[in-house]
Amino acid sequence: MLKWAFIFLLIAIVAGILGFSDVEATAATIAQWLFGIFLVLFLGAVVIGLAIGSRLMS
Convert the pLDDT of each residue in 2-52 to its tens digit.
Answer: 787 788 888 888 887 887 778 778 888 888 898 889 899 999 999 998 888
Q: How far apart are CA 30 and CA 49, in angstroms?
A: 28
CB atoms under 10 Å from CB of 5, counted, come to: 19
pLDDT band at 58 (very low <50, low <70, confident <90, very high): low
- CA contacts within 13 A on the Cβ side of 39: 7
Q: Give the pLDDT confidence score for residue 43 in this predicted structure.
A: 92
Residue 12's nearest CA partner among 3, 38, 22 is 22
Q: In terms of C-beta density within 10 A (0-12 exposed, 13-18 middle, 19 or more buried), how is residue 55 classed? A: exposed
